[in-house]
């Protein structure tokens, strides 16, 4: 049986099973260069054919900006002539507990003849994971996802933000007004195959956080998108609105989607260690690689204007380039193992990460930077327990600590001049990614920051 015949047969089996469960349609999802999920929905009966040939989508999704404008002009994106195929990844088909008439599946974009397409983000992470595997490495990745929960106004055109819970931060009392919503998220997540670590009221007004258990990088990226769908469906069912935006409003708390990673080789967690830091030089080198590439990395993991507004000193958002052990102001927070959890629990948390990042590109860039540090045997500076945002500028300069890029132009310069992170995307995808960033910046140029944040509040 050929690969195409196998895909068709698998599609038939899935279609029959889903139809028997009352599923009417299959939602094929991918994330664009703004981190926004896009999709096509096909009848469940069409799954055998779609499993082989995919469904057609315009190539211009590669240059959709955050406002759904099209940034024509980058190589390969000069006009509207062109089509690619969106092929569902059948091993990830999930019937949605909160939308029982639909199943969800991530898609890969391929050329019209089924070949690799340079602009497909999921393939970038697939290639990165394959390179790691060939070099003897594997990785575990877990997400912490913060979001705001708001009341649905009587008038759908009313964009007033009415907090759905009053706080206090981290209190069980805060979740009482949204108890049914939280219960639905937890039940639906489990039914959808998502392993939750915890759910709690976060620091900001109306803010909630859920954590996804660590898994392999590709599954982690897929699960991040599936978790969004799960939360949004539960919110809709309970008459609530959810904002995943990096910063829904200047007056509120930002939503970071912190990424926890650990790098493994030969069954050993290279980051294993204690409060002193990783016990081996390889773990320290992984941190050094991330720190070296952090300005360019942040241009991929926190790429939007909302991201730049969120990354402020004093907000646990990681505004300066340094690392620390359990330092929540550090963009790179080393989480050590312990006698209770074991040394292999150790990982590194990247705080400059949010929903406007394409999860596949973000993880590909992050892992590439860290592994390059290991391969080059880099050594990081000493960790900081202090907050350099409270220091004078000359004190930071003396310590070699610089502020991360704070404008679109600064991020573009950092990304364009970094051969490792730019190389992960490749020339074509990098051109499209930067075209989208410039389009967003151009649109926002004459607007107040609060107006930009309001326009993108519900986009992710």
pLDDT at 156: 67
> What's the rounded mean pLDDT across residues 55-62?
97
Element at 26 (helix H, strand E)? strand 25-31
Across the range 11-17, mean pLDDT stands at 96
Q: Distance between CA 379 and CA 367 in Å, rounded? A: 17
Mean pLDDT calculated for residue range 281-307: 98
Q: For 189-235, what is each residue's pLDDT tens digit? A: 999 999 999 999 999 889 999 999 999 999 999 999 999 999 999 99
> How confident is the model over 150-173, as pLDDT tens digits?
998 877 666 788 999 988 999 999
Q: What's the confidence (pLDDT) of residue 327?
A: 94
The predicted structure's pLDDT at residue 427: 97
Tell me, which fold does domain 128-455 have in CATH? Creatine Kinase; Chain A, domain 2 (3.30.590)
Mean pLDDT of the chain: 95
pTM score:
0.97
pLDDT value of position 318: 85
> If you average pLDDT over residues 171-181, what whole number do you get?
95
Between CA 291 and CA 264 the distance in angstroms is: 19
pLDDT at residue 185 above 90?
yes
Whether residue 407 has pLDDT greater than 70 = yes
37 pLDDT tier (thresholds 50, 70, 90): very high
Average pLDDT on 41-66 reads: 97
The per-residue pLDDT for range 224-267, each reduced to its tens digit, is: 999 999 999 999 999 999 999 999 999 888 999 999 999 999 99
| Residue range 346-361: mean pLDDT, rounded | 98
Question: For the chain, what percent of residues have pLDDT higher than 70?
Answer: 99
User: CATH says 3-112 is which class?
Assistant: alpha beta
Question: What residue spans define the domains of the chain?
Answer: 3-112, 128-455
Residue-wise pLDDT for 429-444, tens only, equals 999 999 999 999 999 9
Q: What is the DSSP letter of 42?
A: E
Q: Give pLDDT, residue 341.
A: 83
- Those residues with Cβ within 8 angstroms of residue 232's Cβ, 6 or more apart along the chain or in another chain: 242
419 vs 415: CA distance, rounded Å:
8
Helix and strand numbers, DSSP H then E, in the chain: 14, 17
- Does the pLDDT of residue 350 top 70, yes or no? yes
Question: Which segments of 96-175 are extended strands (E)?
Answer: 102-110, 137-151
């Amino acid at each position: 049986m050929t690969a195409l015949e196998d895909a068709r047969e698998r599609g038939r089996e899935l279609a029959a099973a889903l139809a028997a469960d009352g599923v009417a349609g299959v939602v094929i999802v991918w994330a664009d260069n703004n981190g926004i999920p896009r999709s096509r929905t096909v009848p469940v009966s069409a799954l055998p054919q779609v499993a082989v040939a995919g469904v057609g989508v315009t190539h211009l999704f590669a240059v959709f900006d955050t406002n759904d404008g099209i940034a024509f002009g980058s190589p390969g994106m000069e006009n509207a002539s062109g089509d690619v195929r969106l092929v569902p990844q059948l091993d990830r088909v999930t019937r949605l507990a909160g939308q029982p008439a639909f199943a969800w599946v991530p898609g890969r974009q391929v050329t019209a003849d089924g070949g690799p397409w340079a602009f497909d983000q999921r393939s970038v992470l697939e290639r990165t994971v394959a390179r790691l595997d060939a070099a003897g490495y594997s990785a575990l990745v877990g997400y912490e996802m913060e979001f705001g929960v708001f009341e649905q106004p009587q008038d759908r055109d009313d964009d007033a933000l009415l907090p759905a819970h009053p706080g206090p931060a981290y209190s069980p009392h805060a979740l009482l007004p949204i108890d049914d919503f939280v219960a639905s998220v937890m039940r639906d997540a489990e039914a959808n195959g998502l392993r939750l670590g915890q759910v709690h009221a976060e620091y900001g007004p109306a803010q909630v956080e859920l954590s996804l258990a660590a898994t392999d990088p590709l599954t982690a990226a897929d699960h991040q998108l599936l978790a969004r769908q799960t939360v949004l469906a539960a919110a809709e069912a309970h008459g609530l609105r959810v904002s995943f935006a990096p910063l829904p409003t200047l007056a509120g708390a930002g939503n970071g989607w912190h990424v926890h990673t650990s790098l493994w080789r030969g069954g050993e967690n290279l980051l294993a260690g204690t409060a002193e830091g990783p016990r081996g030089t390889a773990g320290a080198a992984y941190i050094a690689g991330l720190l070296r590439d952090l300005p360019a990395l942040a241009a991929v993991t926190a790429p939007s204007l909302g991201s730049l507004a969120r990354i402020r000193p004093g907000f646990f958002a990681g505004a300066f380039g340094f690392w620390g052990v359990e330092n929540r102001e550090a963009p790179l927070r080393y989480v050590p193992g312990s006698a209770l959890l074991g040394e292999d629990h150790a990982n590194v948390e990247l705080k400059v990460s949010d929903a406007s990042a394409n999860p596949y590109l973000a993880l590909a860039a992050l892992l590439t930077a860290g592994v390059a540090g290991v391969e080059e045997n880099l050594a990081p500076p000493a960790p900081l327990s202090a907050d350099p945002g409270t220091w004078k500028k000359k004190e930071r300069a003396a310590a070699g600590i610089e502020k991360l890029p704070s404008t679109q132009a600064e991020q573009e310069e950092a990304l364009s001049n970094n051969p490792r992170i730019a190389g992960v995307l490749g020339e074509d995808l990098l051109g499209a990614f930067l075209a989208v960033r410039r389009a967003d910046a151009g649109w926002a140029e004459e607007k107040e920051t609060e107006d930009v944040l309001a326009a993108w509040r519900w986009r992710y």
